[in-house]
């Protein structure tokens, strides 16, 4: 099979972790006799510095011509600390989502048996936690118009807008995921306050009639935030709007013990993007200490979702599990011993796959 992918390393630790995910992708391609073709594209702060645009048209053209996008991270403290900056790296991420039609972000939340002690929650709460968060990506308050500030600068406003089409599209994905898992769907909203949430709930209730085999529960977002910490094993598939999903998925990510472990897939109309859930971690950039596992597992999701190659995806997951059990991991999840380097972890996982 021909695997044609775009590589967007981005900022901070992005180039280092992408290098390891690409290493694993190449090893898998060699082992299973696939032809791997890839090209690099600029995005984020790196793209601003070079061409003045965080998501240049050349990068978009590359993504559109690819079967999948493997993405690192975006963000630079230079822009975080400058409130007057007209262009920010994160605008590139929003632009990419909009132009590629990346309407659904899928984040699996699982725990690793040998790392449960790393979770900030009690073992009895997190042992066996396994759920999927599905976040709507191209609507809501991040994209709603009008948006801006008053002429005197003392008032700012954002508008949350959702259409029936956007809501039904993401809910359908949620119902289908639940049908393939434990048949429970949690719809998160703020229907007691927000008109957009009331539309979400109305449409979900209408669609639930077509899925009689699925147990559907409705949670207000504040209650959902508490439940994720109190009873994380109670969830199967969670679906929600853009901003709520942004916050809740980051909250859920700490259950595993490290954000460096969790991958994500952004499913698109044109092509899909696979990326770790963590940020650019600029403090670690260039030090070869960042955890590459989330990015490597994102590559596994790429094989599963973009190329429908489940055996390849499962082998990557198996190799990652083996590295964790063997405690050949970076410092953020090492058991008190000195952690391995980013590249050494990638080499170990690649060697496991080669020799399997």
Residue with tokens 């082998």: 315
CA atoms within 13 A on the CB side of 279: 13
Residue 233 backbone phi and psi in degrees, to 5: -75, -5
pLDDT score, position 115? 82
Asked whether the domain spanning 120-256 has the same topology as the one spanning 1-106+262-356, the reply is: yes
Domain at 1-106+262-356, CATH from 2.40.110.10, 3.90.850.10, 3.40.718.10, 3.40.640.10: 3.40.718.10
pLDDT score, position 336? 66
Q: What is the largest CA-CA distance in the chain?
A: 65
Give the residue ranges of the chain where pLDDT is below 50: none
Beta bridge partners of residue 73, listed in sequence order: 10
pLDDT score, position 337? 65
Question: By percentage, how much of the chain surpasses pLDDT 90?
Answer: 83
Please identify, in words, the CATH class of the domain defined by 120-256: alpha beta
Q: Over the stretch 286-314, which tens digit does the pLDDT of each residue have? A: 999 999 999 999 999 999 999 999 999 99
The residues annotated as belonging to the active site are: 142, 190, 222, 246, 250
pLDDT score, position 188? 98
Beta bridge partners of residue 134, listed in sequence order: 106, 239
Residue with tokens 């972790």: 17
Closest C-alpha to 301, from 273, 279, 259? 273
Q: Provide the mean pLDDT of the chain.
A: 94
| Cβ–Cβ < 8 Å for 303, 314 | no
Helix (H) or strand (E) segment spanning residue 185: strand 184-189
The pTM score is 0.89
Residue 89 backbone phi and psi in degrees, to 5: -55, -40
Q: Domain residue spans in the chain?
A: 1-106+262-356, 120-256
pLDDT score, position 335? 74
């Amino acid at each position: 099979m021909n695997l044609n992918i775009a590589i967007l390393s981005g900022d901070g630790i992005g180039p280092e972790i992408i290098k390891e995910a690409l290493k694993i992708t190449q090893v898998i391609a060699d082992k299973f006799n696939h032809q791997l073709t890839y090209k690099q594209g600029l995005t984020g702060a790196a793209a601003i510095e070079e061409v003045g645009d965080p998501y240049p048209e050349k990068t978009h053209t590359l993504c559109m011509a690819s079967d999948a996008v493997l993405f690192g991270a975006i963000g630079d403290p230079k822009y975080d600390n400058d409130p007057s900056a007209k262009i920010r790296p994160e605008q590139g991420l929003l632009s990419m989502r909009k132009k590629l039609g990346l309407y659904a972000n899928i984040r699996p939340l699982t725990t690793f048996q040998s790392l449960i002690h790393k979770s900030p929650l009690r073992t009895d709460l997190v042992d066996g936690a396994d759920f999927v968060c599905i976040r709507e990506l191209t609507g809501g308050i991040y994209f709603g118009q009008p948006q801006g500030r008053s002429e005197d600068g003392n008032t700012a406003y954002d508008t949350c807008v959702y259409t029936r089409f956007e809501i039904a599209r993401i809910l359908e994905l949620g119902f289908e995921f639940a049908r393939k898992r434990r048949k429970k769907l949690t719809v998160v909203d703020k229907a007691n306050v927000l008109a957009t949430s009331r539309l979400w709930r109305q449409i979900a209730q209408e669609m639930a009639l077509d899925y009689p085999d699925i147990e559907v529960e409705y949670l207000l977002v504040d209650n959902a935030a508490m439940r994720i910490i109190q009873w994380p094993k109670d969830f199967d598939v969670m679906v929600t709007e853009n901003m709520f999903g942004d916050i809740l998925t980051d909250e859920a990510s700490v259950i595993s013990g490290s954000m460096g472990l969790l991958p994500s897939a952004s499913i698109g109309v044109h092509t899909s993007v696979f990326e770790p859930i963590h940020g650019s971690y600029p403090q670690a950039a260039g030090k070869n200490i960042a955890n590459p596992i989330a990015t490597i597992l994102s590559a596994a999701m790429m094989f599963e979702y973009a190329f429908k190659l489940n055996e390849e995806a499962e082998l990557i997951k198996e190799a990652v599990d083996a590295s964790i059990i063997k405690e050949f991991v970076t410092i953020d999840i090492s058991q008190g011993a000195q952690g391995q380097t980013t590249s050494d972890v990638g080499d170990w996982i690649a060697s496991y796959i080669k020799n399997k």
